[in-house]
């Protein structure tokens, strides 16, 4: 694993493998270390201070295309996806450490744009303050997690570092409309989606491309590498941890059972790192799969149910004999743990305790930040004085949606909004339900003194939480003045 460019031995290896493959007559493409890096051996790391060499470096098309592939030795041979990902990461055009030269500037921008005096005051007063006849109680863990803050900072740094270069991002950096809007204002080009497929036609050689916090699929990474793009990878380390778990499953010839949403960017990226996988959304789907493991069933019905959520060529009769559990890091942690137990019990019953470790594996891939925010809202739910819960975060944010689910599962009233303007001057609130529908509730605020519990998803800046609470305070002030009946 080499971040400074391959040595001569790497080049010899690539040439020998190419010759062997040519002799075998099987000409399928497989990426290898970049031969053209040899001329730069001994130069400073592109991630070290003084990155002007990386910024100005041009990529020679013919060398780049050669470095992006070699011939696969046998048709149908499986790509070592972990090795391939490591090869791309080792490229001179790949950066996942940020830009030291712009860090101080970006830190100042983020403090100005995202921090909150109200949240600071709440933290200084044991997470409770009172304003305008409203008691505000803040969950112990809330808002920006470390991985999200890192991703946003790197995106800001990249824009500042590559001031005059065309810069793209393969998806929303995080699931927050305000932050993504800010990147658009900075000149980011969001890769368009046409008929459900990303269109990379406007991404050219030498362009800067940012990978979001959710990660990118291996196929996208290969494409960008082959185009000779300068890649800035903001993938959350917790997502990378899940990819490592999936690779462990692959090496043990196990099918990865991914607890997640098949259309979610993170699950798409994770699935791309597996050889064989199936994605289950919830306990109901997990029970369907484990029932098939134990009792068999209608194969056509099974495949129709999971047609978008399994690997190409998936066969439930063949591919569910050995399974490993992984998850989309933003899923409900207790459900992930319950699904893992469900599969473990199924394998125990089918193969016996002496063989269960051969047929089942579950590594801990639940994100700490997701778990902490879920634990915190559970703690806040124990407070009987709270009249309702306000949850702030992107409507397409999975981790924020699960916070609302927890509130509703406990029989409490909760409203999930993505931005402060969803709380309207007429006393209504536009909010997302747990099933994804957007609805408007009129006169949502109880009259008189009230207590609200507030929290925010891992993709939500503190400033957005403050702005949302301020809208509630504004309505209560208008109520006091008689402006709202």
Give me the active site residues, please.
Answer: 266
**3-class state of residue 31 by DSSP:** coil
Q: Who contacts 383 (Cβ-Cβ below 8 Å, separation ≥6)?
A: 137, 451, 453
- Does the CA dihedral 50-51-57-62 come out positive or negative? positive
Do residues 307 and 239 touch, judged by C-beta distance below 8 A? no
Do residues 128 and 186 touch, judged by C-beta distance below 8 A? no
Kindly tell me the burial class for residue 273, based on how many C-beta atoms sit within 10 Å of its own C-beta (0-12, 13-18, 19 or more). buried
Distance from C-alpha of 295 to C-alpha of 384, rounded to nearest angstrom: 46
Tokens 């193969």 map to which residue? 351
Rounded to 5°, the CA angle 417-418-424 comes to 55
Q: Who contacts 81 (Cβ-Cβ below 8 Å, separation ≥6)?
A: 218, 247, 250, 272, 273, 274, 275
Distance from C-alpha of 87 to C-alpha of 227, rounded to nearest angstrom: 15
Distance from C-alpha of 165 to C-alpha of 143, rounded to nearest angstrom: 32
Tokens 């800010």 map to which residue? 182
**3-class state of residue 468 by DSSP:** helix
- Nearest by Cα to 274 from 238, 308, 310: 310
- Quote the tokens at residue 287: 């029970």
Kindly tell me the burial class for residue 305, based on how many C-beta atoms sit within 10 Å of its own C-beta (0-12, 13-18, 19 or more). middle
Do residues 86 and 10 touch, judged by C-beta distance below 8 A? no
- Quote the tokens at residue 285: 């789907």
What is the strand order of the sheet 230-233 is part of?
94-95, 230-233, 208-211, 167-169, 189-190
What residues does 58 pair with on adjacent strands? none
Q: Where are the beta strands (DSSP E) in 87-242?
A: 94-95, 128-131, 134-138, 167-169, 189-190, 193-194, 197-198, 208-211, 230-233
Output the CA torsion 374→379→384→386 (10° steps). Answer: -50
């Amino acid at each position: 694993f080499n971040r400074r460019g391959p040595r001569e031995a790497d080049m010899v290896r690539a040439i020998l493998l190419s010759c062997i493959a040519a002799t075998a007559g099987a000409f399928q493409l497989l990426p290898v270390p970049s031969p053209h890096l040899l001329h730069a051996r001994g130069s400073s790391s592109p991630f070290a201070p003084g990155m002007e060499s990386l910024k100005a470096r041009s990529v020679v098309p013919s060398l780049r295309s050669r470095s992006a592939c070699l011939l696969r030795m046998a048709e149908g041979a499986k790509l070592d996806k972990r090795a391939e990902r490591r090869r791309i990461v080792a490229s001179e055009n790949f950066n996942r450490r940020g830009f030291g030269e712009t860090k101080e500037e970006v830190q100042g921008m983020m403090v100005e744009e995202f921090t909150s005096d109200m949240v600071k005051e709440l933290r200084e007063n044991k997470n409770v303050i009172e304003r305008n006849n409203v008691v505000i109680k803040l969950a112990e863990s809330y808002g920006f997690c470390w991985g999200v803050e890192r991703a946003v900072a790197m995106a800001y740094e990249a824009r500042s570092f590559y001031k005059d270069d065309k810069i793209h991002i393969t998806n929303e950096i995080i699931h927050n409309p305000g932050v993504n809007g800010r990147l658009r204002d900075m000149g980011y080009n969001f890769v368009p989606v046409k008929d459900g497929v990303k269109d990379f036609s406007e991404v050219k050689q030498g362009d800067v491309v940012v990978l979001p916090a959710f990660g990118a699929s291996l196929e996208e990474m290969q494409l960008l590498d082959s185009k000779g793009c300068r890649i800035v990878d903001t993938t959350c380390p917790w997502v990378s941890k899940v990819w490592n778990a999936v690779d462990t499953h692959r090496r043990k010839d196990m099918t990865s059972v991914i607890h997640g949403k098949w259309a979610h960017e993170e699950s798409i990226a994770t699935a791309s790192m597996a050889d064989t996988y199936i994605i289950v959304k919830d306990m109901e789907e997990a029970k369907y799969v484990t029932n098939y493991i134990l009792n068999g069933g209608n194969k056509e019905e099974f495949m129709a149910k999971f047609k978008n959520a399994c690997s190409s060529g998936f066969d439930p009769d063949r591919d569910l004999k050995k399974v490993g559990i992984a998850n989309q890091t933003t899923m409900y942690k207790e459900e992930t743990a319950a699904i893992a137990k469900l599969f473990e019990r199924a394998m125990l019953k089918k193969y016996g305790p002496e063989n269960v470790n051969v047929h089942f594996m579950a590594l801990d891939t639940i994100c700490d930040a997701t778990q902490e925010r879920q634990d915190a809202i559970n703690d806040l739910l124990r407070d009987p004085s709270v009249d309702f819960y306000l949850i702030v975060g992107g409507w397409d944010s999975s981790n924020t949606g699960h916070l609302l689910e927890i509130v509703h599962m406990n029989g409490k009233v909760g409203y999930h909004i993505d931005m402060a303007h969803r709380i309207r001057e007429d006393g209504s609130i536009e909010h997302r339900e747990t099933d994804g529908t957007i609805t408007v509730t009129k006169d949502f605020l109880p009259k008189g003194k009230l207590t609200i519990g507030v929290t925010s998803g891992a993709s939500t800046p503190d400033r957005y939480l403050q702005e949302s609470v301020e809208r509630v305070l504004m309505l209560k002030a208008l109520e006091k003045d008689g402006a709202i009946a």
